[in-house]
Homo-oligomer: A and B are copies of this chain.
Amino acid sequence: MERKKICIVGVGLIGGSMALQLNEKGLAAGLIGVESSEIHASRALELGLVDEILPLDQAIRNSEAIVLAIPVDTLTGLLPQILDQVTNQIVFDAGSTKEQLIEAVKDHPKRGRFVATHPMWGTEYSGPAAAVKHAFENKAVVICNATDSDEDAVEWVKQVYRKIGMHLLEMDAVSHDLHAAYVSHISHITSFALANTVLEKEREDEAIFEMASAGFESTVRLAKSNPAMWVPIFKQNRENVLDVLNEHIAQLRKFKSCLEKENYDYLQELIENANRIRRILK
């Protein structure tokens, strides 16, 4: 696989981790970073994530492939402008929502150069210092509406993800956004809300935090996630997230009703049903 000169727009958690993988797997002939935060830009250089930081226009001209790893609202606004400047470069993104993004460029003359992807990996941390080696490995990556992209572009992007160790899924943007609401977005909302539930209480008593155990940490760690990333995701995937959130509140109400009515047989049933998740999680 031929090395390409690659530009990474947004050298944070995702862009930085991608940079580390592109280097380690020998996929980059050079890595240019584009980064609006000066602090992040110098940190990315210090950490050796990219070789240089350039303004966007210049970075596009000097690259053969462009990775977009910025919040989905900025991404949706920026992608048409980037495609305006693209000649034959391959552009792909790592955003958590796909429908609005694809809609924003559907009639663009360079639409074919863009491949819409969502590598299903992240942590609750952000910024270039949060970048980690071996990220994305053994996780799924979703490629959306692949037939709207040029064949050479899709093939190269697929090869990149395969080299990183991801397994490929293909689906349309509408299905992606619905599924992402279930397997990722709702987990963040429950975690944010659980943190707020406990912090509300904490005003009254510090002791509960001394008692916090691994189970608590597991369900609440996503609550550390960056609002700059997550508000735009919830905004773009509003309808799906609302549907799932309504279903989740309905499921919680079943537990509430069991306890209120002291119906422990039904409580047992609800938990046994939840146990079926064992089939899916190792």
Q: Which residues of A contact B (CB under 8 A)?
A: 120-124, 139-140, 142, 169, 171, 175, 179-180, 182-184, 186-202, 205, 207-225, 227, 230-231, 234-235, 238, 241-242, 244-249, 251-256, 259-260, 262, 264, 267-268, 270-278, 280-281
Complex partner residue of A212 from B189, B235, B247, B280, CB under 8 angstroms: B280
Contacts A215-B187, A277-B224 given; indicate if A201 touches B247 (C-beta within 8 A): yes
Complex partner residue of A215 from B122, B179, B267, CB under 8 angstroms: B122
Copies of this protein chain in the complex? 2
User: Is the CB–CB distance between B268 and A197 below 8 Å?
Assistant: no
Give A171's nearest chain B residue, CB to CB.
B207
Instruction: For A275, list chain B residues within 8 Å (CB).
Output: 195, 223-225, 227
Complex alpha-carbon distance, A199 and B270, angstroms: 11
Contacts A187-B218, A193-B251, A242-B259 given; indicate if A199 touches B277 (C-beta within 8 A): yes
Instruction: For A273, list chain B residues within 8 Å (CB).
Output: 195-196, 199
Contacts A251-B197, A256-B245, A259-B238 given; indicate if A216 touches B274 (C-beta within 8 A): no
User: Is the CB–CB distance between B222 and A219 below 8 Å?
Assistant: yes
Complex partner residue of A218 from B121, B219, B252, B268, CB under 8 angstroms: B219
Closest Cβ–Cβ distance, residue A17 to chain B (whole Å): 13
Instruction: For A179, list chain B residues within 8 Å (CB).
Output: 205, 207-208, 211
Complex alpha-carbon distance, A246 and B139, angstroms: 35
